[in-house]
Chains A and B, each alone.
Chain A
Amino acid sequence: NAGVTQTPKFQVLKTGQSMTLQCAQDMNHNSMYWYRQDPGMGLRLIYYSASEGTTDKGEVPNGYNVSRLNKREFSLRLESAAPSQTSVYFCASIRTNTEAFFGQGTRLTVV
């Protein structure tokens, strides 16, 4: 009953460093998503993957890349971190025509 597992939970990066956020779900969902949450902004979609092998940009994709490695895993990569990418990141997967299931979030600070 793991649901959506997201790692790491916390990360501090220096400007210009790169990192990959990992996400895996064990619910056999087709669609997976990466959101960022900023104070007063709600959750905004960065990228999503409708199914294995496909990815699409969301509302705020600049500075990010994603990989849908297989049906279970969907990673988010920051190639050159910037202070504007300081945020809380959530991975989610959605069951057919119902609610989203979320990972526990990653608090990323870029200094």
Chain B
Amino acid sequence: AQTVTQSQPEMSVQEAETVTLSCTYDTSESDYYLFWYKQPPSRQMILVIRQEAYKQQNATENRFSVNFQKAAKSFSLKISDSQLGDAAMYFCAYKRQNYGGSQGNLIFGKGTKLSVKP
């Protein structure tokens, strides 16, 4: 079974600085997707960034980027120029690729709570 591990329950960053959140996963499959979701106090789950395993290039979305190391099964999230609005729970998630039928399940890590200091 696939598992996702986030080893940092809490992280803190100074406003305008850079922070990296760690995620490792375990799978025997070669085709899959990885995601980072943000959950602010409003409770809404917001997609931050996604990465397809077949793509060697790391995904980027404005101030958010990932370091995807497929062989090491590592998928870290880097937040540059941190803003107060970045304070939230961040969840790493894995989903296998599907070839029709069920789209499979999103498997989540336990989350990292990020605080941003002004």
Q: Which residues of A line the B interface, CB within 8 A?
A: 29-31, 33, 35, 40-45, 48, 50-51, 58, 88, 90, 92, 94-100, 102, 104-105, 107
Return chain B residues, CB-CB under 8 Å to A42: 4, 91, 108-111
Bitwise, B78-115 to A at CB < 8 A (1) or not (0) is 00000000000001010101100111111011110000
Interface size on B, residues (CB 8 A): 24
Q: Is B64 an interface residue (CB 8 A)?
A: no
In contact, B106 and A33 (Cβ under 8 angstroms): yes
Return chain B residues, CB-CB under 8 Å to A50: 101-103
Q: Is B44 an interface residue (CB 8 A)?
A: yes
Return chain A residues, CB-CB under 8 Å to B4: 42
Q: 18 A-B Cβ contacts within 8 A?
A: A29-B103, A30-B103, A31-B104, A40-B9, A40-B111, A42-B91, A42-B108, A45-B105, A50-B101, A51-B101, A58-B105, A94-B95, A94-B103, A95-B103, A99-B47, A99-B50, A100-B45, A104-B43
Interface residues of B in 12-37 (CB under 8 A from A): 33, 35
Q: Which residues of B line the A interface, CB within 8 A?
A: 4, 9, 33, 35, 43-45, 47, 50, 91, 93, 95, 97-98, 101-106, 108-111
Distance in Å from the Cβ of B59 to the closest Cβ of chain A? 12
In contact, A97 and B101 (Cβ under 8 angstroms): no
Return chain A residues, CB-CB under 8 Å to B33: 97-99
Q: A50 vs B101: C-alpha distance in the bound complex, in angstroms?
A: 7
In contact, A98 and B50 (Cβ under 8 angstroms): yes
